Amino acid sequence: MSWSGWVAGWLVGVSFGQSPTTLEAVRLHKPEATQLARQELEACAARKCPEAGRLALLAGTLALSDGQASEARDLLAATPAPALLEPYRAFYLGQARFYSGDAEGAAREFARVVEGGAAPADLTARARARLGESLLKAGKAKQALVVLDSAMKATPSPELLFQRAQARGATGNVAGQQADLLALALRSPLHPYADDAVKWLTEERRPAVKLGFAERTRRAEGFVDGGAPQRALAELDALGDEKLAKDAAAKVALLRARALFALGREPDALKVLEVAQKGPPGVAADAALLLARRALRSDDNAKARALMAALDQKYASQSAGEEGAFFSGWLDLQAGRFADAVKAFTAHGERYAHSRRRDEGLWFRALAQLRQGEYAQARASLESLVATFPKSSLAPQARYWTVRSRELGGAGATEVGPEYERLIGVAPASFYALLASERLKELGRAAPATFPNPPLALDLPRPPELELAVELTRAGLFRDAADEVEAHARRLRSADQALPFAHALLRLGEFGHAHAVAARYLWGRAFGAREPDALAAFYPRAFSNAVEEAAAAHKVDPFLVWAIMRRESAFKPEVMSLADARGLMQIIPKTATAIAEKLAEPAPAPADLFSPERNIRYGAWYLARLMDRFAHPVLAAAAYNAGPGAAAKWARERGDLPLDLFVESIPFRETRGYVKQVVADLYLYHAFYDAKGAQPRLSLVVPPPAADGVSF
């Protein structure tokens, strides 16, 4: 299904203002969007159609986003918008007037939004902030200060802090101006206004404000954490030749080492780190931990193990010591030193009784015992985990392995069968319920259904509170529509309120928002009471036409596509990760280019990956190739998350393990969790929606991957 088809589903029973083609271009930020909107507005004006206000609103906002402020002003001023959208027209007209140099006119428009009483709370807050800025630019500092104070209390931001500083300075409150600018410089060093703040404090203020050790190190830490290591070094250099006490010098050295490591200057980093390691215990421990973590990411298990053990021995009173003890056991486990891992995790639990990793330590101790065939000892560790941490996220796997260890120790079907059945009832949506079902089938016992009834979609009237979101979508103001839906979702307070709201969102095609509402309010109903109407928002067949068409074209299980989509984006088409993965299937532009080449298509623009149809098509092709190479959903999911190279390496090194132990032995925590959720969801989708009514079996044998196949 194309995005045009999807948006048609969004607007069930509603006539269009803009055409689906224009709406698709707007949603995907295509360069032709502005031209299309203007053409439709001109055609509407020629025939005096009733949609002129909505069309003018879109054309004006697009002109504004293109930097054409005067054109946007003229378009927005010429035609009133429909009543529900009039506050948005006033807001964007205020923006257009402001950027075309009419600050007083902008203030009037923003005041209309703030004082009119018809705008939603989020738009009112945005308008109040812009009203303060406009009044300030218009030379009305006293009025601006009142508005900016109010805006700061409601939604504090670096921009408002900077503007309030200017208003305070213009009204003679220089001390207040200094306080605001210093706060900005320290709290948000990466913000563009922070540079202006520092310049005023250190160059324009008379007398100048001296940024000393505390201020410079705080800013440097912000730069390192924010991925700007070169700026962190510059900040530390700004301390000059100031003579620092030993403790302060050690802290500076640690920050400098972090920045140098980030820049790839390892020899320089190691040299300055020697100073940090001679500092006070807290700094010295962090310096040693920095080295140990870097070794942990390398392939040098022995070096990393030695550094982690040294942390445990030398810094037991610091958090670094606890981390060293934990990862000593982890490294033993990864290297196959299972007896040593048991000792290390036992010591970790004894030495760090209040560690937040106690449950993990018990689990990995049990895993090491399982790998050694010490089933009774493993069972004792697992039972301790469940008894001590009954609400731990590790409890379902501890319960599964408690039963599995009994079976491995010789217990028969009559003893372990009821325990597997009980686990399915306790954690029906988990990977461990799936494994328990397979174990029961191996024992010749019928596995109980994880859920008595499949998801049930309710045909409910659209709630009145969604009318504005629908109007905004009809007008092409998608960002505002999403904000409006989210604002109403935040106001929900109970499952009874959330259920009809989630189903209305499903009917509108807003699968991502429906899933988010369900995750917030309907978890107990879905997975505790197992109510089918609550399950519907957790497992929708989102964008069904697009998924089914792509799956058929590329010969891949459509339920695997939905399972990956659920984990990757939670059904939100415009999600973008820090790694620049985009869209429903979270495809990186580089990967998309490689897929397009294989499909003999032109390389897509990065923005094109937000198109549900294209994103799903590329994701389905890629999953099909992964299944061709790996022939098992566990390996395909591992490859989708960590890359085909990593999945192939793990299969070669550990493929002789049973599937359940293989998954537990995946060395990346993120990938372990990813694989478990995706594979559990795959089989739930089959159970819920497979028209053939046949639940496929999960092979508990890890197949060898093909040497050739997709490698990107």
Instruction: Indicate the helix (H) or strand (E) that contains 669.
Output: helix 669-689
Q: Does residue 556 sit within a domain?
A: yes
pLDDT in tens, 57-114: 999 999 999 999 999 999 999 999 999 999 999 999 999 999 999 999 999 999 999 9
DSSP, collapsed to helix, strand or coil, labels residue 297 as coil
Statement to judge: residues 481 and 590 lie in one domain: no
Instruction: Confirm if 60 and 75 have CB atoms less than 8 A apart.
Output: yes
Q: Residue 21, class by beta-carbon neighbours within 10 Å (0-12 exposed, 13-18 middle, 19+ buried)? A: middle
543: left (phi over 0), alpha (psi -120 to 50) or beta: left
- Report whether pLDDT(484) > 90: yes
Out of 134, 150, 171, pick the residue that ends a domain: 171
Tokens found for residue 631: 């022939």
> What mean pLDDT is predicted for residues 474-486?
91
Statement to judge: residues 50 and 146 lie in one domain: yes
DSSP, collapsed to helix, strand or coil, labels residue 539 as coil
Residue among 694, 643, 681 nearest 542 (CA): 681
**Res 702: pLDDT:** 97
- Report whether pLDDT(244) > 50: yes
Cβ atoms within 10 Å, residue 472: 23
Statement to judge: residues 496 and 548 lie in one domain: no
Q: Does residue 398 sit within a domain?
A: no
Q: Please state the separation of Cα 126 from the chain's center in Å.
A: 24
What CATH number did the domain enclosing 45 receive? Answer: 1.25.40.10
Number of domains in the chain: 3
pLDDT in tens, 520-579: 999 999 999 999 999 999 999 999 999 999 999 999 999 999 999 999 999 999 899 989
Statement to judge: residues 611 and 481 lie in one domain: no
Statement to judge: residues 670 and 560 lie in one domain: yes
Q: Does residue 586 sit within a domain?
A: yes
Tokens found for residue 548: 């089914």
Is pLDDT larger for residue 11 or for residue 148?
Answer: 148
- Report whether pLDDT(12) > 50: no
Task: Give CA–CA dist 336/355, Å, rounded.
Answer: 25
DSSP letter (8 states) at residue 118: -
Out of 152, 171, 190, pick the residue that ends a domain: 171
| DSSP string for residues in 481-534 | HHHHHHHHHHH--SHHHHHHHHHHHHHTT-HHHHHHHHHHH-HIIIIIS--HHH
Q: Does residue 148 sit within a domain?
A: yes
Statement to judge: residues 519 and 628 lie in one domain: no
This prediction's pTM: 0.88
Residue ranges making up the domain that contains 70: 3-171
Q: Does residue 640 sit within a domain?
A: yes
Q: How confident is the model at residue 695 (pLDDT cuts 50, 70, 90)?
A: confident
Tokens found for residue 296: 């942990």
- DSSP bridge pairs for 576: 582
Task: Give CA–CA dist 386/398, Å, rounded.
Answer: 7
Q: How distant, in Å, are the alpha carbons of 61, 87, 132, 164, 481 from that of 129?
A: 19, 15, 5, 10, 20
Burial of 498-508, coded b for 16+ CB within 10 Å and e otherwise, reads: bbebbbbbbbb
Q: How confident is the model at residue 31 (pLDDT cuts 50, 70, 90)?
A: confident
Task: Give CA–CA dist 121/563, Å, rounded.
Answer: 36
Q: Does residue 615 sit within a domain?
A: yes
> What mean pLDDT is predicted for residues 162-166?
98
**Dmax (CA) of the chain:** 85
Q: Does residue 594 sit within a domain?
A: yes
What CATH number did the domain enclosing 606 receive? Answer: 1.10.530.10
Query: In degrees rounded to 5, what are phi and psi of residue 236?
Result: -70, -35
Mean residue pLDDT of the chain comes to: 94
Say how many Å lie between the first and final Cα of the chain, rounded.
Answer: 27
- Report whether pLDDT(243) > 80: yes
Instruction: Confirm if 604 and 582 have CB atoms less than 8 A apart.
Output: no
Residue among 567, 661, 705, 552 nearest 617 (CA): 552
Statement to judge: residues 94 and 118 lie in one domain: yes
Instruction: Confirm if 359 and 385 have CB atoms less than 8 A apart.
Output: yes
Statement to judge: residues 681 and 605 lie in one domain: yes
Instruction: Confirm if 547 and 509 have CB atoms less than 8 A apart.
Output: no
- Report whether pLDDT(2) > 60: no
Burial of 213-222, coded b for 16+ CB within 10 Å and e otherwise, reads: eebbbbbbbb
Q: How confident is the model at residue 5 (pLDDT cuts 50, 70, 90)?
A: very low
Quote the Cα angle for 155-113-488, to 5°: 60
| DSSP string for residues in 587-639 | B-HHHHHHHHHHTT-PPPPGGGGG-HHHHHHHHHHHHHHHHHHH-SHHHHHHH
**Res 119: pLDDT:** 96
- Report whether pLDDT(149) > 50: yes
**Res 3: pLDDT:** 40
pLDDT in tens, 341-393: 999 999 999 999 999 999 999 999 999 999 999 999 999 999 999 999 999 99
Statement to judge: residues 653 and 518 lie in one domain: no
Q: Enumerate long-range contacts of 668-672, CB under 8 Å, 24 or more apart.
A: 668/642, 670/641, 671/638, 671/641, 671/642, 671/646
**In this prediction, what percent of the chain has a pLDDT beyond 70?**
97
Q: Is the peptide bond before 207 cis (omega within 30 degrees of 0)?
A: yes
- Report whether pLDDT(199) > 70: yes
Lowest-confidence segment of 113-127, 540-554, 637-651, 693-707 by average pLDDT: 693-707
Is pLDDT larger for residue 270 or for residue 23?
Answer: 270
The full 3-state SS of 488-503, as one line of letters, equals HHHHCCCHHHHHHHHH
Out of 522, 538, 554, pick the residue that ends a domain: 538
- DSSP bridge pairs for 582: 576, 587
Statement to judge: residues 504 and 550 lie in one domain: no
Statement to judge: residues 529 and 596 lie in one domain: no
Statement to judge: residues 516 and 661 lie in one domain: no
Q: Does residue 231 sit within a domain?
A: no
Is pLDDT larger for residue 615 or for residue 9?
Answer: 615
DSSP, collapsed to helix, strand or coil, labels residue 580 as coil
Residue 432's identity, in one-letter code, is: Y
Q: How confident is the model at residue 17 (pLDDT cuts 50, 70, 90)?
A: low
Quote the Cα angle for 307-312-315, to 5°: 105
